[in-house]
Structure 1
Amino acid sequence: MYIADETWPELGDYFADESLALVPLGSTEQHGPHLPLATDHLIAEAFAREAADRTGYCCTPTINVGVSPHHRQFHGTMWVDAPQFRDYVESFTRNLAYHGIDRVIYVNAHGGNVDHLREVGRRLRDDEVMYAIEWMWDESIPELVDDLFAQNGPHGGPKETAMIQHLHGHLVRDDQLEAARDGGVPDVEAAETVKHGSRTFYDAADNTGNGVLGDQTDATAEKGERLFEAATDQLCQLCDWLDDQPFVDLLPKEHV
């Protein structure tokens, strides 16, 4: 169920019976010469909406701009600073708590959001307001990702390319796949920006001239469909697991 499609009386029935919501989050940032800036938030929204449809749980509107200053050198990238992002997401989530939601899954498709979503989840849990956890689609199916792609990225690589080919194929610039591969690097190791155990890079531009990594020519819509189905199944299972937990068991443990 997508919350914004419902009327307030209809939602009263949901909040009376259910206590879980899905919150999709992504970014609006460069994804190379072949993918749209919307890549991450389109992926997050697709997973959250599909899981909501399959399970009956509530899905909120998507948070489209995330913590992306490390992509700022590339035209059009948008970001919010980390403290403001954390405060906004926390306020957004507390709004759900006001309506009776006490557990949230942040359906996230942008790596730059991860640490900040974990911090927000900790704040809410420590205040005993809510139990909120972060979920990343590719981390739910790592073996399949590795099986499908020899060089899977991470950023703007074949796994994200395949996903957008499946979800919004008209947005993929197929004539730029070779340019994406040839103008980027296979992985961070190939960028040679890890020195003696230290990550000496701060921005994507420090690693790759065109903003992406991996072999984008290895992507297909069929692979994207396999990834989408497998990860959606994992998300639905996570929803049902979380819904089954007694709320008291999700709160912080007592001091020993």
Structure 2
Amino acid sequence: MYLGDEAWPDLESYFETESLALVPVGSTEQHGPHLPESTDHLIAEAFAREAADRAGYLCTPPVTVGVSTHHRQFHGTMWADAPAFRDYVESITRNLTEHGVDRVVYVNAHGSNVDPLREVGRRLRDDHALYAIEWMWNESIPDLVDDLFEHPGPHGGPKETALVQHLAPDLVHDDRLADARDGGVVDVTTNDTIVNGARTYYDAIDNTPNGVIGDQTDATAAKGEQLFEAATEQLVDLCDWLAAQEFQALMPEPHR
């Protein structure tokens, strides 16, 4: 069930019987010359909607702008500074408690959102308001990602490219895949951006001139479908596990 499509009286029965919501979280930022700036929130919403439909849970509208300051040198990137992002996500999550939601899965598709989302989850749990956890699709199926791609790339690589080829093929510039690979960095570990144990980079452009890492030519829609099916199964299982927990068991242990 997608919250944004429902009239309010038709949501009553859900809140009478369920207390879990999926909140998709992504970004609006450059993903190289071949992928749309909507890549992360497109992927996050697709996973959240599919899992919600399969398992009978509620999916909220997506958070479409994330912590993306490090992509600001590339045209069109939008971002929220981490404190503003945390406060916004915390606010929209807290308001779900007004309707009886006491557990949330942040269906996340942007790496730099992870730490802020974890902080939001801690705040909400410490207040005994609700239990919120962050889920990142590729972290749920690492073996499959490694099996499918030699150089998956942490950003704009073949794993994200394959997913968008599967979910929204009209948004992928397939004729630019070789340019994306050749104008970027195939393997970020070959860069000289760690010196004596210190990371010397701050922005994506410090690591890759066109904003992406990995071998994009290794992506196909068929691989994207494999990724989507496998990760969706993981997300459904996570939601079922979380829904089955006693609320008090999810709250912090008392001081000893």
* Alpha-carbon displacement from aligned partner over 1:191-221 (angstroms, at most 9, x marks no partner): 2211121111100000000000000000000
Shift in Å at residue 188 of structure 1?
Answer: 2.2
- Give runs of aligned pairs for residues 157-172 of structure 1, distance below 5 A: 157-172=157-172
User: 1:42: which partner in 2?
Assistant: 42
Residue segments in structure 2 that go unaligned for 5+ positions in a row: none
Residue segments in structure 1 that go unaligned for 5+ positions in a row: none
* Alpha-carbon displacement from aligned partner over 1:143-162 (angstroms, at most 9, x marks no partner): 00000000000100000000
- Give runs of aligned pairs for residues 214-229 of structure 1, distance below 5 A: 214-229=214-229
Q: Verify: 1:103 aligned to 2:70, yes or no.
A: no
Shift in Å at residue 190 of structure 1?
Answer: 1.5
User: 1:182: which partner in 2?
Assistant: 182
Instruction: Say if 1:154 and 1:187, in contact at 8 Å, map to a contact too.
Output: no
What secondary structure is seen at the aligned counterpart in 1 of 2:160? helix
Supply the RMSD in Å over aligned alpha carbons. 0.6
Shift in Å at residue 187 of structure 1?
Answer: 2.6
Q: Verify: 1:138 aligned to 2:138, yes or no.
A: yes
User: 1:201: which partner in 2?
Assistant: 201
User: 2:84: which partner in 1?
Assistant: 84
- Give runs of aligned pairs for residues 50-61 of structure 1, distance below 5 A: 50-61=50-61
Q: Which amino acid aligns with 1:212?
A: V
* Alpha-carbon displacement from aligned partner over 1:2-23 (angstroms, at most 9, x marks no partner): 0111111111111111000000
TM-score (norm 2): 0.99
User: 1:231: which partner in 2?
Assistant: 231
Structure 1 runs (4+) deviating above 3 angstroms are none
TM-score (norm 1): 0.99
* Alpha-carbon displacement from aligned partner over 1:46-66 (angstroms, at most 9, x marks no partner): 000000110110000011000
Distance in 1 between the 2:238 and 2:30 partners?
30
